[in-house]
Amino acid sequence: MLINVSYNDKQIRHEITDLVGMPFSFKQRIKLRGIGSQRFIITSASPEISNLLALDMNLNYCNIELRQKGIIIRFRSLLETYAWVIPFWKLNMFKNGNAYSIYADGHKMITKPAYNVKANERFLRKIQNLKAQYFEQLQPNYLI
């Protein structure tokens, strides 16, 4: 789901919470050693996202926030902030050299780390681990 989150709207916040869950508590954030990524440079994106990014001529950055049932990718265009809300069951991520490809809901975004490559790799591994834990919790326990 690609939405404009520039304004404080209860309905939009409720939709985001329904899709990807509540934000982590302060204790959980410390346990996870952070829930936000460093900046990524957006190198290419699907047409709908590219049309938003093409409105200004600045370098396009994004960051990723972890939630309990998914992730939120935030980016800016002109003076507006957009969020691409992705539940874990729709998320597909691939690494190709120094670039990371993210796919969901017919959208795609190819990014590369803006600064610290190793920190971003650790963060993306954290996403993969949380996604695996999420699916383990969903599966019924047939072992007796």
pLDDT(88) > 90: yes
What local confidence, expressed as pLDDT, does residue 115 receive? Answer: 85
Q: What is the CATH number of domain 2-138?
A: 2.30.29.30
Work out the average pLDDT over 13-28: 93
Q: Which of the 8 DSSP states describes residue 36? A: B
Q: Once rounded to an integer, what is the mean pLDDT over residues 102-127?
A: 90
Any residues with CB less than 8 A from the CB of 44 and at least 6 apart, and which?
Answer: 50, 108, 109, 110
Ranges of beta strands (E only) in the chain are 2-4, 40-45, 61-67, 70-77, 80-87, 92-96, 99-104, 107-113
Question: At residue 137, what is the residue type?
Answer: Q
According to the model, what pLDDT value does residue 85 have?
95
pLDDT higher at 142 or 131? 131
Structure tokens at 106: 């017919």
What mean pLDDT comes out for the span 109-116? 90
Residue-range domain boundaries for the chain:
2-138
Is the Cβ–Cβ distance between 108 and 86 less than 8 Å? Answer: no
Q: pTM (2 decimals)?
A: 0.89
Contact by Cβ (8 Å): 45, 1? no
Overall average pLDDT of the 78-99 stretch: 91
pLDDT > 90: what percent of the chain?
Answer: 62
pLDDT at residue number 26: 94
Determine the pLDDT at residue 135.
87
